[in-house]
Structures are given as C-alpha cells and as structure tokens.
A and B are shown apart, each in its own frame.
Chain A
Amino acid sequence: MVTLLRKELREQWRSNRLLVVAAVLVAMGILGPLTARYMNEMLGSIPGTPEGLEAVLPPPTAELAVSELADNLAQFGLILALLVPMAAVVGEKTSGTAALTLSKPVSRGAFLAAKLLALVVTFGLGISLAVGAGYAYTGMLFAWLPVGGFAQLAGALLIYLLFYASLALLASTLMRSQLAAAGLAFGLALALGVFGTLPAVGTLLPSALLAWGRSAASGVPIELPWKALVTASLLIPGLWAIGWAALRRQEL
C-alpha cells in the first residue's frame, strides 16, 4: 500500500498534476479577494460603463472577498476534481500498467485506495495553499479575519472536492475509455447539481458544507450541516467501495 501510494504521489509530481492543481487553485484563491476589492474600480475605469452600475454592485467588503474566494475554489476545484482522476484507473487498464501491477501480490482495494489517498493529498495541498493565499490577500486588502474560520472553509472545500473526485474515480474504474469515464463523471455531477436544487436533497449533499465554511471564514459562524457531513463521510468511502467491488470482478 505504501509503495502504491508513493508511486501515485510521485506520478502526481512528475506529471505536474500536483503543480497544476495547486497553481490553478492558488490563482483562484488570490483572484477572489482581488476581484472583490477592485471590481468596482475596474468597471468604473472602463469607458462606456453605464452610469450608476457601481451603485448596484455590492460594496467591497471582507465578506464579499470570502464569498468570491469560496465560489472560485468550488467552481474551478470541481472541474479539476472531475478531470484529474478521470484517467486514474481506466488509463492504467488500457495502457497495460494495471495488469503488470496487479499480477503482483497487491490487492485491488489497495490499488484503488492509493489513488484515492493521492487525490486527498493533491487536493488537500492545493486547497490549503489556495485558502492560505486567499486569507493573506483578504487580510491585506480588507481585514484580518479569524484563521480558524478559513481552516473550516478549507475543510468544507476539501470534503466537497473529494466527493466529486471519488465520483470521477469510480467512473474511471467502471468505464473502458477515458472519454466514457469523463462523460459519466460529468453526467453524474450534473445530475447531482440538478437534484441538489431540491431543498430536501440539497441539505444532504456535500455542497451544503460550502455555506457553512463560507460563513465561518467571514466570521459569522452558522450551525454545521451535520447531515451533509455524514452523507459525505459515507459517500466518499462508499464510492471507493463500489469501485473496489467492480474492479475485483474485472479482468485485465
């Protein structure tokens, strides 16, 4: 298991995936507070901007910066969470490296678990750096908010992104091509987005954690959405378990 995890992490590093994920998330983390701070001024400096537009735009505040930060990381992070694991299993199956590895005394569960853990590390690092950058820029441009709140936001974002990364990993395990895996992952994410608009379903999905994280980072904590946390805590290992059950039956 340690060997498999080390290989996954080394691969994330050598293929620049770790760097790309971290760079994109950090850029989004910085862009949130910057946009909140300078959007009104930028619009005002553009010739032809309708008069009074600035008045209807929200005033630049630390809360707005946190909101922009959380939205940016959730949106771009979601795309990365669906793209990064897309080839993780199906790519190894089609290239033949999975057969070489699994002819050794390695369990298929460990093979899949190493990939999930590598995603935890990649997104954990990326989100930590991005929220850290966002915290610093919010502090420099607006006010220094409590660090604990930003840590909660980082936790919420990580759980949210890991849920979708697990979904993409499952798609990669079930499908026979990367394209099909991508299609299934995006399709499932879209379906969850649609169902998530139903209040009864929305409170159960990991996305409900984002509002809690955002509020905590803004310094106005709200009650932790336990149901969403429990759902995510069950679904992430649950998706891995479904993938494991499928991989056990597959021939390589």
Chain B
Amino acid sequence: MSVLKVEGLRKAFRQVQALDGLTFAVEPGTVFGFLGPNGAGKTTTLRILAGLARPDSGTAFVAGHPAGPASPARRLVGYLPEEPRFYTWMTATEFLRDYVAGLFGLKAEEARRRTAELLSLVGLQDAAHRRIAGFSRGMRQRLGLAQALLNRPLVVLLDEPVSALDPAGRRDMLQLIEELRRTTTVLMSTHILDDVERVCDSVGIIQDGRMVTVDERQALLDRYATPLIEIAFRAQPDRVAAWAEQVRRLPGVASAVSNEALVTIHLGTDEAADQQVLAQAVASGMPVERFEHGRPKLEDVFLRLVGQAKEAA
C-alpha cells in the first residue's frame, strides 16, 4: 500500500493554476524525488500534504488518511519547509524538547531522549543550549530536519532541503536524508538534479502542476536518457566548433555541443551512430585526446521531459 497517495489535485491562486490534476503515489521506505522547475507546484503539493493548505479539488492521502488542517495525518508526517523559521529566542533544546515534543504529546523522558538523539544525528549537540537566533542557515536547516523527525514520522516531507546550503552543508544534509531511508519514507522536492540522482530511489517530474512522469530512478534513466559521447580534441576551439556543427547533421545524432576543445554529443536511438561519430572524429584530422561514452544523467531526462511537456502545452 502506498504511504502517500495524491489523486487529481487541483489548486489555483487567482489566475495561476498551481496544480492541475496532479496524481502520484509514494511507496513506503523509499526516498522519492519530487523534481520540477521553480513554480511547478512542488511546494503547494507539500503544503497540502502537511495540512497547511487545501486543494480546490482532488485528495491527498497519508497512510490512508485524507490530508488537511484538522487531519490525524499530521501525527504521521514530519515537515521541513524550504526556509524553516523558528522562535529564535528559544534554544535548540527548548525548541525540540519543550515545544515540538509537547505538540506531539511526548512524555518528558521520551522528549529528552529523542531531543538528544536528534541533536546528535544532525550534528547540533554542541549548539544544544545556544539560542537559535545565532544559528547559521545550515544549522537552522539541520534543526528543521530534527524537528521534522521528532515524532518518528511515517513520512517526511522535505521542501528543497539543500537548495540554500553551501557544498559542505549540502553533502551533510544529503547524507542524513540517505540514512532516513532505513526508518521512514521521504518525499523530497528539489530542482537540483544531482541531489535526486544521489539519494532518491524514485523520481516524479512535475511541470505546470501536472506529473510528467513517475518511475524508479534507474528505470527512468534507462527509458529516457539518451547515450552520450564526450570527445576531447587537441585543436583550436573554432575548428572543434565547426566539426561539432558537422557532426550534428549526422543521422542518429540528437545534439552536439562544443565547449573549447570538448564536444558533448547526445545520440538518438540508433546504436550505430557512435561508430559514425568516431569515424568522423578520426577523419577530422584533429588529434583526439579522449573519446568516451558518458553516463546518461537525470538532467538529460528532466530537460527532455520538461521540454516535451512545454511543447505539448
């Protein structure tokens, strides 16, 4: 049974149709990447699931309970907004142990133990008794994750959890999210494709409030990502650019983009096209430093699907 189920959600803000019949489901124990460009409807969906907003029509279920402002589903959910805000006059311990644990009705001993566990998990144990006002953005994001996990939720909703963090903060946060797979289900919205590739098992791509596709990450890559070749020449960039232009016209080549002496070529479905490209490279007379098949990326799938969805619209 799906732990999250979204059926035909529609939501408009005046003239803007934020969600337009959005439907998808998330299986338990997975990290689901909710991927889409800015304004695609990711945050609106998460706010509906967290019980902070209502859809105009359609329903969102959390473990079978309809989500909403008075729904029991809120006991089962942990929610981290994109920019979590706190009562900055509280310390991290006060916020988790006295406030959030109290809202979930945890007993004092359990609240104390859980707070210590979580502060340690997110690496804030040294800042446990510091006022939140003095926390950096990364620390606030980690505290936000801790509060989202305090009730041992069935589902954790993370809205762009790493978009505002520096590289080290991003790495740490993604590592934490990866570890959550063992204990809970994660729905993570993001527009950063590398993060999805790194931690997500399943991916849903949303565009203009509609789900473009949902599948397991690898299945999506296998299905949509086109083969890729990278060729590095030892030659003048203008010669390389001219060669790339010539290759682009070959049958079976979807695109060829040059950057200085490097050419990135996306192939279509014709498996023999790479042989033709190799032959053209040799025939160009330019010394080839490197010729390799690149790994198809989710970025390619995303750009392709979002592009198709735009064209269809």
Contacts and interface: CB of A to CB of B under 8 A. Distances in A.
B29 interface: no
A100 interface: yes
B84 interface: yes
Given A7-B87, A15-B89, A251-B47, A100 B147 contact: yes
B81 A104 contact: no
Interface in B86-104: 86-87, 89-90, 98-100, 102-104
Nearest to B46: A103
Interface of B: 47, 50-54, 69-70, 72, 74-75, 77, 79, 81, 83-87, 89-90, 98-100, 102-105, 147, 151
Given A97-B86, A99-B52, 18 more contacts: A3-B98, A3-B102, A4-B103, A6-B102, A7-B98, A11-B89, A15-B89, A96-B85, A97-B85, A97-B87, A100-B79, A103-B52, A103-B74, A103-B79, A104-B74, A105-B75, A105-B104, A251-B47
A75 interface: no
Contacts of A4: 103
Nearest to A94: B85
B87 A99 contact: no
A6 B98 contact: yes
5 contacts: A3-B99, A102-B52, A104-B100, A107-B70, A252-B53
Nearest to B147: A100
Nearest to B87: A97
Nearest to B49: A103
Nearest to B100: A104
B18 to A, nearest CB: 12
Contact of B51 (A10, A14, A102): A102
Taking residues whose C-beta sits less than 8 angstroms from the other chain, chain A's interface range is 20 to 34
A103 to B, nearest CB: 4
A102 to B, nearest CB: 6
Given A2-B102, A3-B103, A100 B84 contact: yes
A34 B72 CA distance: 58
B116 to A, nearest CB: 19
Contacts of A7: 87, 98-99
Contact of B84 (A2, A15, A96, A106): A96
Nearest to B84: A100
Nearest to A252: B52
A101 interface: yes
Contact of A96 (B74, B83, B98): B83
A105 B52 contact: no
B102 A105 contact: no
A115 to B, nearest CB: 13
B81 A100 contact: yes
Interface in A6-37: 6-7, 10-11, 14-15
B81 A96 contact: yes
A252 B102 CA distance: 21
